[in-house]
């Protein structure tokens, strides 16, 4: 392979020779010159796209723009990477905080749920106690009603017994009066008989 010295620092390209076994290296079309004096000067160099010209920088400096642009891009990417890492760290911290807050809220929710369940259990116990009290009150009311019925029956029986005793006492008193009257009559009769007997005895003794 043969290389044609064009005096330029740019890369060359090789093309196969028409009548040779080895290709001939030729420079790119934009620098297809045969004399090094015909190379473009610094004033003819163009600024590569993506790197704007800055005040005070000559076109000769821009000749190294691809490397500077790559370096700037690498620095920019590095800066963006650092920012992304910082953002990722902040997001990770926020995520950890959110998870901690979520866990705390979940614990609070569990405690509240437990309190609600305890309150429901207490409410059920109170309802059961209330039902038991109502049942006891009903039983007491029934017992009191039974006691009242018994007292009323006792009072009625006592009144009836008292009335019967009063009637019997009245009958006994009437019977006593009758007996006393009869006894008086008997006594009078006995006295009359004794008197008559005495008279008869006296008459017989006089004879």
Supply the pLDDT for residue 98.
92
Burial class of residue 52 (count of CB atoms within 10 Å of its CB; 0-12, 13-18, 19+): exposed
- Please write the tens of the pLDDT for every residue from 9-48: 444 444 444 444 444 444 444 444 444 444 444 444 444 4
Supply the pLDDT for residue 96.
93
Supply the pLDDT for residue 65.
62
Beta bridge partners of 16: 23
**pTM over cut 0.75:** no
Burial class of residue 173 (count of CB atoms within 10 Å of its CB; 0-12, 13-18, 19+): exposed
Supply the pLDDT for residue 127.
93
- Please write the tens of the pLDDT for every residue from 91-144: 999 999 999 999 999 999 999 999 999 999 999 999 999 999 999 999 999 999
The dihedral formed by the CA atoms of 137, 141, 146 and 149, expressed in degrees to the nearest 10: 170
Q: Which H or E run contains 101? A: helix 65-206
């Amino acid at each position: 392979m043969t290389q044609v010295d064009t005096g330029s620092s740019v890369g060359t390209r090789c093309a196969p020779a028409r009548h040779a076994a080895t290709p001939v290296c030729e420079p790119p079309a934009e620098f297809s010159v045969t004399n090094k004096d015909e190379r473009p000067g610094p004033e003819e160099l163009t600024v590569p796209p993506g790197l704007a010209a800055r005040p005070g920088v000559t076109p000769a400096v821009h000749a190294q723009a691809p490397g500077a642009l790559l370096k700037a891009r690498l620095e920019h990417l590095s800066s963006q990477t650092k920012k992304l890492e910082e953002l990722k760290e902040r997001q990770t911290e926020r995520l950890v905080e959110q998870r901690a807050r979520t866990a705390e809220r979940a614990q609070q929710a569990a405690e509240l749920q437990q309190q609600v369940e305890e309150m429901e259990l207490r409410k059920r116990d109170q309802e059961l106690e209330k039902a038991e009290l109502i049942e006891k009150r009903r039983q007491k009311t029934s017992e009191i009603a039974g006691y009242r019925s018994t007292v009323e029956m006792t009072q009625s029986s006592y009144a009836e017994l008292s009335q019967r005793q009063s009637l019997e006492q009245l009958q006994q008193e009437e019977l006593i009066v009758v007996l006393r009257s009869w006894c008086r009559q008997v006594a009078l009769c006995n006295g009359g008989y004794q008197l008559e007997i005495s008279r008869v005895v006296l008459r017989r003794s006089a004879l």
